[in-house]
Amino acid sequence: MNKVDDTCLVECVHSDNVEQVVLKMEPDENLFLLAELFKAFGDSTRIRILHALSFSELCVCDLAHLLNMSSSAISHQLRVLRGQKIVKYRKDGKNVIYSLVDAHVATLLEQGLQHVNE
Amino acid sequence: MNKVDDTCLVECVHSDNVEQVVLKMEPDENLFLLAELFKAFGDSTRIRILHALSFSELCVCDLAHLLNMSSSAISHQLRVLRGQKIVKYRKDGKNVIYSLVDAHVATLLEQGLQHVNE
DNA sequence: CCAACGATTGAATATATGTTCATGTATGCA
DNA sequence: TGCATACATGAACATATATTCAATCGTTGG
């Protein structure tokens, strides 16, 4: 069984447009990574973490208090953000202090907020 | 049972930092909406749709061919994008032609791609 | 050294989500 | 009018994901 929709015949396609677009499309691999990046932003817990970090670096415990959540839950989410290279961290004694990797991340957040508050 | 982590005592918090951040935080409602927005970007099918639409407006059938997926699957995802006001559409006979709502969306995509291709 | 604390991790569970399949709606053409 | 096409939608299923709970690791202070 094929994933292509058999009910949609070739004739319906605006061939000129589609071919133009095909040529310009990024490789699927890049688009997949892009989706993974946005997915990391696509959770209210992680967004709140990132929003908080846009003002100041914070340790896990700070974040847990700030968001009124367990430090375990926070840590799990920070792991996701680390995986996407959205946050970085440094150790300070018993604490681990997190911050945004660069201003680029803050810009994305800002752009998104503008869209929401349009 | 409380969601707050009992193992993390008040003493560990960097009170000064946290209080500063609390004052600057956006309302949770806005951050929730922001997460929903990014969530809409956080799927490879939807990202490919948006990326394609950043080059040209396209009907459902065009998109289905372009992504080699059923028009049903595409339609479901377009519904999500419509819900977040990321795409708009106009009817043209039997076709429904989709496009990005504004340049703002394209900017977000571009910003994200830059981060991925860093 | 040991006890306490901050943080991380793995397993488990409940929930959310994407695609398929079947069906329904609307438009255009014979 | 009847039929095929383009699209939308609802239900179902399989998969992904967020939080909790329990256990562990690393660091610090007594």
Question: Would you say residue A21 lies in a domain?
Answer: no
Q: What are the DSSP calls for B36-60, one per residue?
A: HHHHHH-SHHHHHHHHHHTT--EEH
B65 interaction partners in chain A (CB closer than 8 Å): 8, 10, 13, 18
- Give the gap in angstroms from C-alpha B76 to the nearest C-alpha of chain A: 14
- Domains of chain A: total: 1
CATH number at residue A47: 1.10.10.10
Question: Would you say residue B3 lies in a domain?
Answer: no
The interface predicted TM-score (ipTM) is: 0.90
pLDDT averaged over every residue in chain A = 90
Question: Would you say residue A20 lies in a domain?
Answer: no
pLDDT for the residue numbered A11: 57
Q: Is the pLDDT of residue A79 over 90?
A: yes
Mean pLDDT along residues A48-77 = 97
Question: Would you say residue A8 lies in a domain?
Answer: no
B61 interaction partners in chain A (CB closer than 8 Å): 8, 12-13
Which residue range(s) make up the domain with B62? 27-116
Question: Would you say residue B41 lies in a domain?
Answer: yes
Question: Would you say residue A69 lies in a domain?
Answer: yes
What span, in angstroms and rounded, lies between the C-alpha atoms of A116 and A111? 9
What span, in angstroms and rounded, lies between the C-alpha atoms of B104 and B87? 11
Minimal Cα distance from A3: which residue of B?
A: B69
pLDDT averaged over every residue in chain B = 90
| pTM, full prediction | 0.90
Question: Would you say residue B62 lies in a domain?
Answer: yes
pLDDT for the residue numbered B3: 35
pLDDT for the residue numbered A60: 97
